[in-house]
Amino acid sequence: MPNQSVNTNGIAGRSQSFDFNLNSFKISVNFGFLVENPLTSLPTYFNPWNTLAEQLPELYKAKRVREAVHELPLLDYNQLSGHRQLRLAHLQLSFITAGYVWQNGEAGIPKSLPKSLAVPFYRISELLGMQPVLCHAGLALANWRLKDPNGAFDFENLQCIYHLPGGYDGDWFCIIPFMVEFNFAKCLKNFVEILNLLNVAEVSNARDAALTDIENRVALQLDEINKVIQMMTKSLTRMHDHLDAKTFFNEVRPFLAGWGGEGTPLPDGLVYEGISTTPIKMLGDSAAQSSTNQALDGLLGVEHKKSQRDVLVKMRNYMPPEHKRFVEYLENRPYGLRNLVESSTNDVLKSSYNNCITALVQMRTYHIQIVSKYIIVASKGMNEGNYKSLDSKGTGGTSVMPFLKDVRADTETKMIGSRQSKKSWLTIGAVTAVGVAVIFGAVRFFKQK
Ligand code: HEM
């Protein structure tokens, strides 16, 4: 693989070289957080897993997943080699586990996972630094393949390796995030360029013409990021093409649920036999586990208030650990993009930055509309009542709407200048209202006299 770093040499006559390397975060410059060319089957020794994962949709429909799991031999996961085999094994076992737990709905849920499934799943997850549950890193990052391997990475040419319930609607629910993640990959080189430029600005303590040059270059990179965020939103709009709200709410979504938590059918969690007799709690699959938005927040310096932040930080435990490290790196840089933008008088830079914030707010607004259609409205008019614990909560465990709206509001406040102007308008509004009330009060007082 080529070195996926970008050098920013000779900025305004200086020759600084900073090597920000995406490889060290297991991020591909072409595929971003997606697994690059995922495997679609494991070596023959693992055929019991290959077969069961492939047959899952039929077995699930016939409520025979548990039967099939009870016949699984305990395979030696040490015979897996390399990252791609481990990711595929994790994906297979996460699908099989979800099928095992949820095959009969909320009724008669098993309290434990048999050893032949639990031990390899738990240990493989440990090796990967991932969680032993169906999650975004599997479903949306490792589950893609192309119908025509020589064709484009595009909606029509994408398919799933393993299938959620709900037929093609379930596949489409995965194909949209494949595309959103792929769109995001297009701005990674701009991330790298900005990080390198920030390093140059910080280390060289650039001033005057040199600083203006850096700022203009950062602005150009931000313009590209803005286009990518808009592309991501455009991909989201395709959700409606093949995902029916009733199918999603009643068939797809319950399969994504986790275990543990008040009001859920497994309040204490699930026992992974052969690992521990204490039940383990896991969040369900949620695209809130995607690193894309958290990386954008990190780069743009969008900080979230404590309650939203606590949720988002918890979601990071479901990312591959290297991606979590990338998000943390962006967030914790001592000299970040906002330092540059806030201290700058360069209108081009400020406007490019604000355009990115606007695009991110618009993406979050569109996502809220999706959630409203597929969860809020569907839970009222289309709810078949089989999964009561999911009526008011996201599969990631949030009180859906307040959380998403607060996350968007945090983003909005990052518009440079907007906070002050909002504040001042609010102040002017409040002062005017008080003034008018005082005048009316005084007039009435004198009339009464
Ligand atoms: C039918 C489609 C979808 C539904 C019903 C849905 C639902 C939700 C819900 C309920 C949450 C809150 C966290 C939780 O409890 O799970 C959430 C968060 C989130 N979702 Fe989705 N989602 C959908 C599609 C997507 C897609 C395709 C993406 C992009 C890949 C996405 C990205 C996010 C992100 C980034 C968050 C975290 C909040 C934020 O950064 O704004 N979602 N989603």
Look at residue 283 and tell me whether its pLDDT is greater than 90: yes
Exposure on the CB side of residue 364, measured as CA atoms within 13 A = 25
- Report which protein residue has its CA nearest ligand 1's atom 31: 287
State the distance from the centre of ligand 1 to the C-alpha of 438, rounded, in angstroms: 48
Contacts of 266 (CB under 8 A, 6+ apart): 101, 109, 111, 259, 260, 279
pLDDT of residue 208: 81
Look at residue 238 and tell me whether its pLDDT is greater than 70: yes
Alpha-carbon Rg for the chain, nearest whole angstrom, is 25
- pLDDT tens track for 85-139: 999 999 999 999 999 999 999 888 999 999 999 999 999 999 999 999 999 999 9
Look at residue 347 and tell me whether its pLDDT is greater than 80: yes
Higher pLDDT, 436 or 68: 68
Look at residue 442 and tell me whether its pLDDT is greater than 50: no
Is 239 close to ligand 1, i.e. is its CB under 6 Å away?
A: yes
- Report which protein residue has its CA nearest ligand 1's atom 3: 371
- pLDDT tens track for 70-91: 999 999 999 999 999 999 999 9
Lowest mean pLDDT among 45-49, 61-65, 371-375, 427-431: 427-431
136 is in an annotated binding site: no
Average pLDDT over residues 276-285: 97
State the distance from the centre of ligand 1 to the C-alpha of 218, rounded, in angstroms: 29
**pLDDT band (50, 70, 90) for residue 389:** confident
Relative orientation angle of helices 83-102 and 47-61, to the nearest 10 degrees: 30
Residue that has been written with the tokens 């979050």 in this structure: 364
Look at residue 49 and tell me whether its pLDDT is greater than 50: yes
**pLDDT band (50, 70, 90) for residue 403:** very high
Is 95 close to ligand 1, i.e. is its CB under 6 Å away?
A: no
**pLDDT band (50, 70, 90) for residue 430:** very low
Say what the pTM is: 0.90
pLDDT of residue 46: 98
pLDDT of residue 262: 82
pLDDT of residue 444: 46
Contacts of 27 (CB under 8 A, 6+ apart): 4, 33, 188, 322, 323, 326
34, 172, 303, 371: which to mutate for ligand 1, most atoms within 8 A of CB? Answer: 371
Atom of ligand 1 nearest to the CA of 136: 30
pLDDT of residue 115: 98
Atom of ligand 1 nearest to the CA of 232: 29
pLDDT of residue 154: 98
Burial class (CB in 10 A: 0-12, 13-18, 19+), 282: buried
CA distance readout (Å), 49 to 40, 56, 69, 85, 322: 12, 10, 9, 12, 27
- Report which protein residue has its CA nearest ligand 1's atom 10: 394
State the distance from the centre of ligand 1 to the C-alpha of 367, rounded, in angstroms: 7
Could you give the percent of the chain with pLDDT greater than 70? 88
| Token pair listed for 134 | 């169906």
CB environment 391-426: b (16+ within 10 A), e (fewer): eebbbbbbebeebbebbbebbbebbbeeeeeeeeee
Is 258 close to ligand 1, i.e. is its CB under 6 Å away?
A: no
Is 394 close to ligand 1, i.e. is its CB under 6 Å away?
A: yes
**pLDDT band (50, 70, 90) for residue 19:** low
Average pLDDT over residues 344-361: 97
The average confidence (pLDDT) of the chain is 89
Average pLDDT over residues 15-24: 66
pLDDT of residue 390: 80
| Token pair listed for 289 | 């586990």
Is 175 close to ligand 1, i.e. is its CB under 6 Å away?
A: no
pLDDT of residue 331: 96
Is 374 close to ligand 1, i.e. is its CB under 6 Å away?
A: yes
- pLDDT tens track for 294-328: 999 999 999 999 999 999 999 999 999 999 999 99
- pLDDT tens track for 156-195: 999 999 999 999 999 999 999 999 999 999 999 999 999 9
Is 233 close to ligand 1, i.e. is its CB under 6 Å away?
A: no
Look at residue 435 and tell me whether its pLDDT is greater than 90: no
Neighbours of 161 (CB within 10 A): 20
Is 177 close to ligand 1, i.e. is its CB under 6 Å away?
A: yes
